[in-house]
């Protein structure tokens, strides 16, 4: 061989080696799990998922049956087949509940050419192992229709994972705009895909009451309906006039609520219902004006004319009887530990003028109307606790003194939550500066109508629920973090999707992944694949973070 040919051969060999290296690197990049796991090691090889694969688990275990059905329900849509159970196939996906130390809600996922093993100490852990398995498959696995000409390959890998916080929440306001249960269920699916485990259902507000309460039928007949001011900017909507027709709205029957709770439970999501008090009560007062300070009459608000000063009368014992009866039915429906009672933005104007409220202040030896709100919340807390539940409220419930056992959801910043933690209360951080998903994602001129503030993806990603510099022994009081979707400017499901995606991905990493593992550039790299999953789901996600491309 002439030296020149030898040189060319060597060059070719080097090029080939480089391209195999490049392929390997590309293969490595194939694993894009969001939220980022504790550790991911990729191996040579792959498991090809097809009709000859099967699922293997203890078939008398109800939770594992439910998890396998969940996996199959996704598979049947996109792949067009389901996996048989325990059929001695040589290629199998094994689900195992184990006692070896993996961690609360954690999982280990091992993929070889012939076997996928998902292990967890608890069922949520195994469920999250399935969620990660879905993300090892091609993004098309999320398609709602059958995908042709695709190999359902899963790269060989060892993944170890567990969440950072126990409360990984998303909220949805169904009062300002009403969304039927099928929309709510899809929303719950999106939470599950991102390993979030709390759905905070904002069921009542000035613009509509959304849950059937058997004892108070007027809540469904009157409080659930408002004037239709569609097309007018939310903040410029005129107050409803007496006698005006109220065609816009809706509510969930208790059977529908039970159905949604069950749907969420199969995804290891707990629903926290919110019943607002003492403010944000106008929808109730439209039906039961006798519970107000002034006696009314009132109409359900057609939009946000701020401030809305109408409030439950804290001097009237009938108010507490009403709220306790409502909460009785609510607590019987929702199996979770927490009941959210709002407590935010309660204007005190009417309490200042109301003889009953002033008499209560005197009788109870309270200093002012701020302490009257504290009296209100404490009285309700006592009732909630007597039923074995824990009260949680927005951080205004701290004002005037917090009930001993109450938990706090900190929205006006981190300060309220930090203060509550220092006093020994459990806290969920949900500061508007980081996690209010009703805020625009970028330049006003390019985004859909919304409130003025801007909350870009990167800012959400920078959200750290743990307050800086807080004592180690107080850190246990931080339950986790949550983002909120207020729907004043969100009239449709498509708009929910636009505001939720992709910021929900950034949130998931803020509440799941260790801070030391977080890196925005790395996140955005993985988001390239996550976008393909959103495409497969056909969700209308915002492309703002990619220059609208
Ligand atoms: Zn009053």
Q: Could you tell me if residue 18 is inside a domain?
A: no
Q: Quick one: 115 and 211 in the same domain?
A: no
Residue 308, pLDDT > 60, answer: yes
Q: Could you tell me if residue 261 is inside a domain?
A: yes
Q: Quick one: 208 and 149 in the same domain?
A: no
Q: How far is the CA of 358 from the centre of ligand 1 (A)?
A: 8
Could you tell me the CA-to-CA distances from 539 to 36, 144, 411, 533 in Å, in that order? 22, 11, 28, 9
**Summary mean pLDDT of the chain:** 94
| The predicted structure's pLDDT at residue 228 | 96
- At 333, is the pLDDT very low, low, confident or very high (cuts 50, 70, 90)? very high
Q: Quick one: 272 and 187 in the same domain?
A: yes
Q: Could you tell me if residue 231 is inside a domain?
A: no
Query: Rounded to 5 degrees, what angle do the CA atoms 188, 66, 101 make?
Result: 90
Q: Quick one: 138 and 222 in the same domain?
A: no
3-state secondary structure of 157: strand
Report the alpha-carbon distance of residue 543 to residue 109 in Å, rounded. Answer: 32
Q: How far is the CA of 301 from the centre of ligand 1 (A)?
A: 20
Q: How far is the CA of 213 from the centre of ligand 1 (A)?
A: 24
> For 251-268, what is each residue's pLDDT tens digit?
999 999 999 999 999 999
| The predicted structure's pLDDT at residue 3 | 52
Residue 530, pLDDT > 80, answer: yes
Question: If you write DSSP's letter for every residue of 54-66 in order, what string do you get?
Answer: EEES-TT-HHHHH
> For 73-111, what is each residue's pLDDT tens digit?
999 999 999 999 999 899 999 999 999 999 999 999 999
Q: Could you tell me if residue 394 is inside a domain?
A: yes
Cβ neighbours for 150, distance < 8 A, ≥ 6 positions apart: 138, 140
> Using an 8 Å Cβ cutoff, are 117 and 96 in contact?
yes
> Using an 8 Å Cβ cutoff, are 309 and 353 in contact?
no
Q: Quick one: 321 and 432 in the same domain?
A: yes
Cβ neighbours for 175, distance < 8 A, ≥ 6 positions apart: 202, 203, 204, 205, 206, 207, 208, 209, 210, 283, 487
Residue 23, pLDDT > 60, answer: no
Of the given ranges (5-14, 159-168, 274-283, 431-440), which has the lowest mean pLDDT? Answer: 5-14
Pick the last residue of a domain from 116, 142, 161: 161
- Say what percent of the chain tops pLDDT 90: 92
Pick the last residue of a domain from 117, 136, 161: 161
Residue 309, pLDDT > 70, answer: yes
Segment 514-522 mean pLDDT: 97
Residue 547, pLDDT > 70, answer: yes
Q: Could you tell me if residue 545 is inside a domain?
A: no
Q: How far is the CA of 291 from the centre of ligand 1 (A)?
A: 8
| The predicted structure's pLDDT at residue 13 | 53
> Using an 8 Å Cβ cutoff, are 79 and 141 in contact?
yes
Q: How far is the CA of 295 from the centre of ligand 1 (A)?
A: 10
Residue 29, pLDDT > 50, answer: no
Report the alpha-carbon distance of residue 293 to residue 352 in Å, rounded. Answer: 10
Q: How far is the CA of 362 from the centre of ligand 1 (A)?
A: 13
Report the alpha-carbon distance of residue 81 to residue 411 in Å, rounded. Answer: 45
Q: Quick one: 329 and 410 in the same domain?
A: yes
Residue 28, pLDDT > 80, answer: no
Q: How far is the CA of 314 from the centre of ligand 1 (A)?
A: 5
Report the alpha-carbon distance of residue 172 to residue 459 in Å, rounded. Answer: 20
| The predicted structure's pLDDT at residue 240 | 93
Three-class SS of 286-307? HHCHHHECCCCCCCCCCCCCCC
Q: Quick one: 219 and 128 in the same domain?
A: no
Segment 292-301 mean pLDDT: 97
Report the alpha-carbon distance of residue 155 to residue 41 in Å, rounded. Answer: 10
Q: Could you tell me if residue 303 is inside a domain?
A: no
Segment 303-308 mean pLDDT: 80
Q: Quick one: 47 and 191 in the same domain?
A: no
Residue 26, pLDDT > 60, answer: no
Q: How far is the CA of 216 from the centre of ligand 1 (A)?
A: 21
| The predicted structure's pLDDT at residue 20 | 54
Signed CA dihedral, 93, 97, 100, 103: sign only: positive
Domain assignment of residue 56, given as a range = 30-161
Q: Could you tell me if residue 538 is inside a domain?
A: no
Quote the number of domains for the chain. 2
Q: Quick one: 411 and 445 in the same domain?
A: yes
Question: If you write DSSP's letter for every residue of 511-545 in order, what string do you get?
Answer: HHS-GGG--HHHHHHHHHHHHHHHHHHT-----GG
Count CB atoms within 10 A of the CB of residue 246: 18
- At 12, is the pLDDT very low, low, confident or very high (cuts 50, 70, 90)? low
Q: Quick one: 257 and 324 in the same domain?
A: yes
Segment 375-382 mean pLDDT: 98
Residue 21, pLDDT > 80, answer: no
Q: Quick one: 433 and 484 in the same domain?
A: yes
Could you tell me the CA-to-CA distances from 357 to 113, 292, 295 in Å, in that order? 71, 11, 13
Query: Rounded to 5 degrees, what angle do the CA atoms 114, 120, 126 make?
Result: 75
> Using an 8 Å Cβ cutoff, are 200 and 240 in contact?
no
Q: Quick one: 128 and 193 in the same domain?
A: no
Q: Is 252 exposed, middle or buried (0-12, 13-18, 19+ CB in 10 A)?
A: buried
Report the alpha-carbon distance of residue 367 to residue 538 in Å, rounded. Answer: 55
> Using an 8 Å Cβ cutoff, are 239 and 167 in contact?
no
> For 201-221, what is each residue's pLDDT tens digit?
999 999 999 999 999 999 999
Q: CATH number, domain at 125?
A: 3.30.379.10
Q: What phi-psi label fits residue 547: left (phi over 0), alpha (psi between -120 and 50 degrees) or beta? A: left
Pick the last residue of a domain from 119, 138, 161: 161
| The predicted structure's pLDDT at residue 10 | 52
> For 156-168, what is each residue's pLDDT tens digit?
999 999 999 999 9
Q: CATH number, domain at 418?
A: 3.20.20.80
Active site residues: 205, 280, 345
Count CB atoms within 10 A of the CB of residue 69: 13
Q: Could you tell me if residue 66 is inside a domain?
A: yes
């Amino acid at each position: 061989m002439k030296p020149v040919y030898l040189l060319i051969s060597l060059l070719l060999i080097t090029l080939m080696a480089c391209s195999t290296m490049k392929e390997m690197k590309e293969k490595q990049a194939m694993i894009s799990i969001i939220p980022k796991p504790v550790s991911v090691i990729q191996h040579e090889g792959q498991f090809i998922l097809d009709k000859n694969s099967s699922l293997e688990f203890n078939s008398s275990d109800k939770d594992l049956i439910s998890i396998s059905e969940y996996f199959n329900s996704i598979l049947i849509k996109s792949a067009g087949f389901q996996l048989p159970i325990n059929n001695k196939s040589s290629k199998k996906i094994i689900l195992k509940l184990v006692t070896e130390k993996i961690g609360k809600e954690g999982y280990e996922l091992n993929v070889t050419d012939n076997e996928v093993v998902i292990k967890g100490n608890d069922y949520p852990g195994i469920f999250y192992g399935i969620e990660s398995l879905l993300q090892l498959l091609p993004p098309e696995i999320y398609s709602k229709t059958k995908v042709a000409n695709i190999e359902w390959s899963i790269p060989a890998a060892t993944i170890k994972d567990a969440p950072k916080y126990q409360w990984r929440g998303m909220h949805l306001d169904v009062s300002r705009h009403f969304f039927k249960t099928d929309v709510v269920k899809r929303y719950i699916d999106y939470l599950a895909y991102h390993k979030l485990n709390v759905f905070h259902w904002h069921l009542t507000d000035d613009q509509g009451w959304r849950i059937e309460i058997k004892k108070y039928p007027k809540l469904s007949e009157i409080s659930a309906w408002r004037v239709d001011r569609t097309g007018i900017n939310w903040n410029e909507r005129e107050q409803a006039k007496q006698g005006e027709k109220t065609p816009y709205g809706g509510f969930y029957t208790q059977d529908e609520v039970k159905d949604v709770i069950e749907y969420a439970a199969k995804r290891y999501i707990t629903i926290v219902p919110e019943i607002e008090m003492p403010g944000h009560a106008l929808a109730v007062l439209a039906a039961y004006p006798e519970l107000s300070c002034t006696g009314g009459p009132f109409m359900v608000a057609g939009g946000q004319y701020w401030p809305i000063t109408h409030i439950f009368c804290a001097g009237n014992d009938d108010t507490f009887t009403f709220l306790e009866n409502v909460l009785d039915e609510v607590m019987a429906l929702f199996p979770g530990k927490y009941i959210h009672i709002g407590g935010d933005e309660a204007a005190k104007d009417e309490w200042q003028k109301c003889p009953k409220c002033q008499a209560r202040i005197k009788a109870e030896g309270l200093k002012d109307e701020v302490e009257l709100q504290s009296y209100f919340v404490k009285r309700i807390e006592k009732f909630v606790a007597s039923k074995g539940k824990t009260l949680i409220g927005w951080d205004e419930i701290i004002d005037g003194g917090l009930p001993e056992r109450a938990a706090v959801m900190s929205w006006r910043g981190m300060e309220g939550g930090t203060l509550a933690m220092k006093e020994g209360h459990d806290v969920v951080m949900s500061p508007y500066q980081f996690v209010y998903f009703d805020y625009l994602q970028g330049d006003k001129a390019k985004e859909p109508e919304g409130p003025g503030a801007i909350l870009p993806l990167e800012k959400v990603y920078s959200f750290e629920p743990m307050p800086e510099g807080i004592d180690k022994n107080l850190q246990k009081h931080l339950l986790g973090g949550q983002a909120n979707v207020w729907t004043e400017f969100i009239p449709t499901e498509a708009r929910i999707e636009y505001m939720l995606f992709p910021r929900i991905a950034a949130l998931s990493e803020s509440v799941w992944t260790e801070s030391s593992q977080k890196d925005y550039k790395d996140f955005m790299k993985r988001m390239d694949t996550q976008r393909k999953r959103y495409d497969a789901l056909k969700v209308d996600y915002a492309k703002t973070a990619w220059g609208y491309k």
